Amino acid sequence: MRRRTLLVTAAALAAGGADVLAAACGGSGRPTELKLATGEKGGPYQALGDRFADELRRGGFKVWVVPTNASVQNLSMLADGTADLAFALADSADQTVRVRHRPAAALARMYMNFVHLVVRRDTPIERIADLAGRSVSLGADGSGTAVTAERVLSVARLARPARIFRYGLDRSIEALKADEIAAAFWSGGVLTPALTTLSQQVPIRLVPLDDQLVMRLRRTYGPIYDSAAVPANAYGFPQPVLTVSTASYLMCRVSLPDEVAFQVTKRLFTSRDRLRAPEAPGGRLDRRFAIGTGAVPLHSGAARYYESVFG
């Protein structure tokens, strides 16, 4: 039986049937079923997740997309086995694996996220110190945005604590439009569609987060943060805005079968141009950077894919 299986496998690979083989579950011929945890409505994870799910289905997988509050919730779902694949911000993934010692593995570092500290254009808030005593949405509970925002505020050394709200992206936008909060954090690609729409309805600005703040983040939490700039004209303002960036990872549960992890990673790169990762510096998937997942280990199936590419 073992010899027969090896012969069938070799024949299928020679015929270019690797994707179909990977999609088979234990030789039963049934497609491998995958649950992909994505993110909030209007955010890049949701749109990217829908496109990636379509590509995986073309590769022979059966995929369910699960909308979530994003990174922290997604990582928890991987750890307890209720999701197979998920997107997560690097700082949330690092915290889960290195600090909380919960199981999760990476398939790829995907693209850079930019911290958006959004205010109405007519507000007097010009720098992060001006958030002292003001109402600020950090992002939804269970989101990577909230993790990053909490860390940004922790190193900002405000004269008085901000008044904290935990709204998701849609609720934050409505609260900004109604002038119920002074500022809202969002971590995502550029452009984020929901913020583009907001900028067309209400004039907005992004509050700069300078290099000094980034250095404080790196000293406190490690080299998962970098300086970046939201490009000029991104949301209707003429100048680039300094900010904090951190990567997004495609993650998986540690018990994902090796061949499935290999084929999912391969599909990620063969469908790269159709996936349309957020258009910003660091937005294009690149195998050279995909293995840079820091303290978060690569799944052995993903490592085997990169070895097959680079030798």
Q: What is the CATH number of the domain that holds 132?
A: 3.40.190.10
- Cβ-Cβ contacts under 8 Å for 127 (sequence gap 6 or more): 207, 208
Classify 307 as helix, strand or coil: helix
Query: Pick from 197, 213, 246: which residue ends a domain?
Result: 246
pTM recorded for the entire structure: 0.87
Tell me whether strands 33-37 and 62-66 are parallel, antiparallel or unpaired: parallel
Query: Pick from 246, 274, 293: which residue ends a domain?
Result: 246
Q: Is residue 66 domain-shared with residue 86, that is, in the same domain?
A: yes
Q: Is residue 146 domain-shared with residue 226, that is, in the same domain?
A: yes
pLDDT in tens, the chain (311 residues): 333 333 333 333 333 444 444 443 434 567 899 999 999 887 788 889 999 999 999 999 999 999 999 999 999 999 999 999 999 999 999 999 999 999 999 999 998 899 999 999 999 999 999 999 999 999 999 999 999 999 999 999 999 999 999 999 999 999 999 999 999 999 988 888 899 999 999 999 999 999 999 999 999 999 999 999 999 988 988 999 999 999 999 999 999 999 999 999 999 999 988 887 664 444 567 888 899 999 999 999 999 999 999 87
Considering only CA atoms, which of 47, 45, 55 is closest in space to residue 75? Answer: 45
Q: How far apart are CA 21 and CA 73, in angstroms?
A: 31
CB atoms within 10 A of CB 69: 22
Q: Is residue 102 domain-shared with residue 55, that is, in the same domain?
A: yes
Q: Is residue 222 domain-shared with residue 125, that is, in the same domain?
A: yes
Residue 20's domain comprises: 2-111+248-310
- Cβ-Cβ contacts under 8 Å for 244 (sequence gap 6 or more): 114, 115, 148, 152, 209, 213, 214, 217, 225, 226, 227, 228
Provide the residue type at 204 as one letter: I
Q: Is residue 220 domain-shared with residue 293, that is, in the same domain?
A: no
Q: Is residue 241 domain-shared with residue 260, that is, in the same domain?
A: no
Q: Is residue 266 domain-shared with residue 232, that is, in the same domain?
A: no
Query: Pick from 217, 246, 275: which residue ends a domain?
Result: 246
Q: How far apart are CA 149 and CA 135, in angstroms?
A: 13
Query: How many distinct structural domains can be found in the chain?
Result: 2
